[in-house]
Amino acid sequence: MTQILVKPNESLDQALKRFKKQIQQTGVLREAREHYEYQKPSDKKRKQIAAAKRKAVRNRQLNPNE
């Protein structure tokens, strides 16, 4: 569990910003999104392959001489 201590004279906005940054660094949100809905391993692989194809096409469009 991630937690922060609010410093004296620290605004709530600043404390919330530190909390969000810490959550981002630990990867809690990413992990929660992954567990939100079960994906079959074959579906994960299919999505990874599709993403790799999109990335390859994008790279070819941006760097046609390579």
What's residue 51's pLDDT?
96
pTM of the model: 0.53
Write out pLDDT tens, residues 6-61: 999 999 999 999 999 999 999 888 888 888 889 899 999 999 999 999 999 999 98
Distance CA 41, CA 49 (A): 12
Domain ranges of the chain: 12-62
Q: CB of 3 within 8 A of CB of 14?
A: no
User: What tokens does 56 get?
Assistant: 């390859």
